[in-house]
């Protein structure tokens, strides 16, 4: 006879979560930024072990828990494949000059009379092109901070403009790991997530830009500058730069609009980037390969390396060099590792009923769609403060609330949007969070100094909650049968 399982108490269900948040906090304190590169993954596995011990004490069998782990990892497999393809795409877009062209034209938007607005826009463009708020802030952001200081603009305002733009681009870019992680946790696909997220993200960044415009016009000191000229010269002197390179991202956007599945669309974009490298950037191919004088051999080597490993392009400008690098598919492996460890933790929590018990208590406070979204947003921000990691602020709430959203007749893109609107963007506002600590260190501006000016990051969670309470762009299943048939992770 099958052994009967017992219903967990709320305290029992919370034991693995308390263990996770506590150990993650210790982890971040000891390892700092390096906690993202392995130690947090180990903490997730240790937390999964604690969850398994609690579950087995309640009568669950290991084989059932293992089946839950396999099912959980399986639901994220498509997202993992997309992440790997995005790594390849980022490599060929760098090799083909697509990303440098986006940075080159984006920098020219800078205008001293509207510096804060321009800094926000340029940061958004570069982050959208690279998929990384961290690299944008660490490279272009540092340069913009120096320019802003020369103009007499306060550090906090400059930092807020840079971070607002960088996190907008990170949030909306298909190259971003968090933009892939959120739909994977919620059970929707990448492009549906981005399209749906635009409804709350564009109003948020628009309001932030209006504020930066007003601030910039009032605080600009009237100085002149030409600090970006060396950067533009370094890019233009190394790559062939032309608007024709924008045909590549335009092709991917066209495929997205035509609702081509994510993997084929990204694969086509990857190949298009490689074709651009062959046609427009032979000098970059020779630099990256540096192994054979025969062009056809060098091209094969460079394109292959751009897809699977680290490549970088050297110019005569140090800041540009640090921006023009990518990790290919191998650069995504750390995020893949994180997802798999998170799914192990989530699989045990879900299959044992521990996650359902926690969610059940939170859901009792959510009597309508607005309060459900508000509860989700609050949970994401809670994990940003307690677990000190933006990935965990997406992973854990995503697994907690996925089933509840389906039961309420809400499609998973509602959840994935809320995860990013509240988890991704608020991580940088917490001084001890890995994001907040990193950006403060890189910019040399304390978190609490730039926090009041991060208008996009502050507005975003309130925007998603407002949309939910007003029932604006809330996607629902047509019937309970359709909701039951929906499977997480189908892309």
Q: Domain boundaries in the chain?
A: 10-77+332-485, 79-328
Copy the structure tokens of residue 184: 């994977």
Q: What is the pLDDT of residue 139?
A: 66
Residue labelled with tokens 């830009």? 209
Q: What is the pLDDT of residue 62?
A: 93
CA–CA distance, 259 with 272 (Å, rounded to integer): 18
Q: Are 254 and 248 in contact (CB under 8 A)?
A: no
Q: What is the pLDDT of residue 64?
A: 92
Q: From first to last of its 491 residues, what are the pLDDT tens digits of the chain?
A: 456 889 999 999 999 988 988 887 888 778 876 776 788 889 889 999 999 999 999 999 999 999 989 988 887 787 678 778 878 888 898 999 988 887 788 777 766 678 899 899 989 988 888 787 877 887 678 778 867 775 668 889 999 999 999 999 989 988 888 898 899 888 888 889 999 999 999 999 999 999 999 888 776 545 445 567 888 888 899 999 999 998 998 888 788 667 777 788 889 999 999 999 999 999 999 888 876 678 889 999 999 999 999 998 988 887 778 778 888 899 878 778 877 887 788 889 888 988 778 877 877 777 889 999 999 999 888 878 766 677 878 888 888 888 889 888 899 999 999 999 999 999 889 877 778 877 887 788 888 899 999 999 999 999 999 999 999 989 888 766 665 666 554 33
Q: What is the pLDDT of residue 491?
A: 37
Q: What is the pLDDT of residue 481?
A: 63
- State the DSSP string of 404-468: HHHHTTB-HHHHHHHHIIIIITTGGGSTTSHHHHHHHHHHT--HHHHGGG-HHHHHHHHHHHHHH
Q: What is the pLDDT of residue 448?
A: 86
Verdict on whether the full-model pTM lies above 0.75: no
Copy the structure tokens of residue 165: 């733009």
CA–CA distance, 181 with 190 (Å, rounded to integer): 9
């Amino acid at each position: 006879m099958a052994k009967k399982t017992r219903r967990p108490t709320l305290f029992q269900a919370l034991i693995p979560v308390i263990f996770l948040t506590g150990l993650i906090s210790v982890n971040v304190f000891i390892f700092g930024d390096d906690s993202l590169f392995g130690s947090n993954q180990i903490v997730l596995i240790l937390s999964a072990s604690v969850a398994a011990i609690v579950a087995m004490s309640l009568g669950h069998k290991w084989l059932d828990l293992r089946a839950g782990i396999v099912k959980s990892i399986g639901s994220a497999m498509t997202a993992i494949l997309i992440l790997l393809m995005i790594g390849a795409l980022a490599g060929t877009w760098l090799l083909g000059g697509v990303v440098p062209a986006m940075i080159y034209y984006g920098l020219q938007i800078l205008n001293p009379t509207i510096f804060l607005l321009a800094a926000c826009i340029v940061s958004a463009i570069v982050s959208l092109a690279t998929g990384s708020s961290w690299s944008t802030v660490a490279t272009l952001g540092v340069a913009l901070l120096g320019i802003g200081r020369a103009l007499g603009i306060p550090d906090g305002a400059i930092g807020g403009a840079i971070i607002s733009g960088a996190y907008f681009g990170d949030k909306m870019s298909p190259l971003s790991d968090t933009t892939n992680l959120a739909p994977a946790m919620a059970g929707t696909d990448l492009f549906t997530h981005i399209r749906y997220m635009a409804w709350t993200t564009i109003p948020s960044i628009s309001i932030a830009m209006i504020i930066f415009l007003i601030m910039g016009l009032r605080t600009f000191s009237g100085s002149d500058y030409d600090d970006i000229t060396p950067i533009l010269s370094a890019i233009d002197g190394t790559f062939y730069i032309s608007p024709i390179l924008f045909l590549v991202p335009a092709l991917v956007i066209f495929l997205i609009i035509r609702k081509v599945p994510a993997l084929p669309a990204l694969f086509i974009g990857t190949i298009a980037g490689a074709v651009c490298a062959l046609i427009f950037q032979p000098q970059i191919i020779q630099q990256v390969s540096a192994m054979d004088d025969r062009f056809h051999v060098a091209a094969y080597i460079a394109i292959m390396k751009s897809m699977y490993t680290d490549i970088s392009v050297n110019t005569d400008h140090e800041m540009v060099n640090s921006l023009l690098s990518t990790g290919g598919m191998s650069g995504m492996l750390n995020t893949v590792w994180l997802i798999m460890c998170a799914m192990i933790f989530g699989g045990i929590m879900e299959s044992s009923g521990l996650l359902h018990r926690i969610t059940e208590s939170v859901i009792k406070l959510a009597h309508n769609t607005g309060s459900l979204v508000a509860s989700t947003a609050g949970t994401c921000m809670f994990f940003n403060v307690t677990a000190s990691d933006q990935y965990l602020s997406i992973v854990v709430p995503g697994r907690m609330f996925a089933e509840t959203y389906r039961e309420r007749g809400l499609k998973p893109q509602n959840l994935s949007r809320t995860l990013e609107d509240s988890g991704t963007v608020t991580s940088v506002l917490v001084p001890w969070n890995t994001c907040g600590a990193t950006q403060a260190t890189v910019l040399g501006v304390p978190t609490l100094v730039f926090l009041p000016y991060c208008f996009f990051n502050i507005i975003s969670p309130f925007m998603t909650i407002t949309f939910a309470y007003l029932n604006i762009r809330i996607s629902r299943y047509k019937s309970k049968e359709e909701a039951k048939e929906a499977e997480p992770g189908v892309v």
